[in-house]
């Protein structure tokens, strides 16, 4: 079964992925040959560091063979249709991960191919990131006792985090400047499941919270808006002074890459409660959990 969005993922399945991720992190040797002889494609239409390298290494450490496919060499949507790309790759691979601009390319490919398709980030969601994020929170406190505050753009990372949080029993607060809130459909779905607060008031959003999470103000593909966004997001930077308003045991999270000096200060990135590199490490373990869910 494909893994395109947290929205479409049952809470039980998501919970199992997080648990498996924590298990493989604790005992990586137990799964060394779990996917022996299989092949996993990793397709990138955008830049990547963590997703590319962690998914490649996770695949190897499960005994399968990864192949990274770059769009500048393959031409998704320009050299041939997304559906034809998917149909061809489905003849070679056991599973395919794809990072694309338009989420509709993923749904088109998923409909055309029989192999599981994994969203490695689209404009709508970043579900693999959310599995790693919930593992990171679970390392610090029970998920059903956690309040997670996301500060910044209501983007792909925010959408997956919101939905993963409520599906796993955490409360979620989103603090965005007016006009940059998450998609109404995501907020509506999350609110039907759990405890959701949407506000533009930073102090209200972080008061007593267990997690402060942020992402870049300008995502890949939005570079032309960077200067405008810097103006609109001014005042929403996460700093140690703001962090003082959170719970005394709170953690700071960021999916990375970070634009230091914009959404987060250098001091906050290096703060003793900053878990950003644990979170990046968890991308490795969580992708193993995703592959084991698909192919194990």
| 49 lies in the site for ligand CP, by CB under 6 A | yes
Minimum gap (Å) between residue 65 Cβ and ligand CP: 20
Q: Choose the one of ligand NVA, ligand CP, none that binds residue 215, judging by a C-beta under 5 to 8 angstroms depending on kind.
A: ligand NVA
Q: Choose the one of ligand CP, ligand NVA, none that binds residue 49, judging by a C-beta under 5 to 8 angstroms depending on kind.
A: ligand CP
- In this structure, the number of other CB atoms found within 10 A of the CB of residue 28 comes to 15
Residues in 226-285 that interact with ligand CP by CB under 6 A: 255-257
- Is residue 272 annotated as part of the catalytic site, yes or no? no
Residues in 210-239 that interact with ligand NVA by CB under 6 A: 215-216, 219-220
Distance (Å, whole) CA 46 – CA 277: 22
Among 20, 119, 122, 129, binds ligand CP (CB under 6 A): 129
Minimum gap (Å) between residue 222 Cβ and ligand NVA: 8
Minimum gap (Å) between residue 122 Cβ and ligand NVA: 9
Q: Per-residue x/- mask for ligand NVA, residues 252 to 271, rule CB under 6 A?
A: ---x----------------
Which lies closer to ligand CP via its Cβ, residue 42 or residue 196? Answer: 42
Which lies closer to ligand CP via its Cβ, residue 171 or residue 289? Answer: 289
CA distances from 188 to 128, 166, 181 (A): 22, 12, 12
Minimum gap (Å) between residue 280 Cβ and ligand CP: 7
Closest residue to ligand CP: CB criterion:
51
Cβ pair 254, 278 in contact under 8 A:
no
Phi, psi for 275 (deg, rounded to 5): -110, 20
Minimum gap (Å) between residue 101 Cβ and ligand NVA: 9
The site that binds ligand CP (CB under 6 A) totals a number of residues, namely: 9
Among 131, 157, 258, 276, binds ligand NVA (CB under 6 A): 157
Phi, psi for 285 (deg, rounded to 5): -65, -40
Enumerate the active-site residues: 99, 126, 129, 215, 255, 283
Applying CB under 6 A, which residues contact ligand CP? 48-51, 121, 129, 255-257
Applying CB under 6 A, which residues contact ligand NVA? 121, 155-157, 215-216, 219-220, 255
């Amino acid at each position: 079964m494909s893994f395109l969005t947290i929205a479409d993922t049952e809470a039980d399945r998501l919970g199992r992925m997080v648990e498996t991720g924590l298990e493989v992190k604790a005992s990586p040797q137990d799964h060394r040959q779990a996917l022996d002889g299989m092949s996993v494609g990793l397709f990138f239409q955008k830049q990547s560091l963590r997703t590319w390298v962690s998914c490649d290494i996770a695949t190897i450490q499960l005994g399968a063979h990864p192949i990274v496919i770059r769009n500048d060499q393959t031409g998704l949507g320009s050299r041939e249709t997304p559906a034809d790309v998917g149909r061809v790759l489905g003849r070679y691979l056991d599973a395919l991960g794809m990072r694309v601009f338009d989420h509709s390319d993923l749904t088109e490919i998923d409909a055309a191919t029989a192999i599981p398709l994994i969203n490695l980030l689209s404009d709508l969601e970043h579900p693999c990131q959310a599995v790693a994020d919930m593992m990171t929170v679970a390392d610090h406190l029970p998920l059903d006792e956690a309040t997670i505050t996301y500060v910044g753009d209501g983007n792909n990372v925010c959408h997956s985090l919101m939905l993963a949080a409520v599906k796993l029993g955490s409360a979620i607060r989103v603090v965005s400047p007016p006009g940059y809130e998450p998609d109404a459909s995501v907020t509506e779905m999350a609110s039907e499941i759990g405890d959701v607060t949407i506000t533009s008031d930073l102090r209200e959003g972080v008061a007593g919270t267990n997690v402060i999470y942020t992402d870049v103000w300008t995502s890949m593909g939005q570079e032309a808006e960077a200067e405008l966004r810097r103006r609109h997001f001014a005042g929403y930077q996460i700093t140690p002074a703001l962090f003082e308003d959170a719970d005394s045991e709170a953690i700071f999270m960021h999916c990375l890459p970070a634009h230091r000096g914009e959404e987060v200060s250098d001091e906050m990135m290096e703060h003793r409660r900053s878990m950003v590199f644990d979170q990046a490490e968890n991308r490795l373990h969580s992708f193993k959990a995703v592959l084991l869910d698909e192919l194990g």
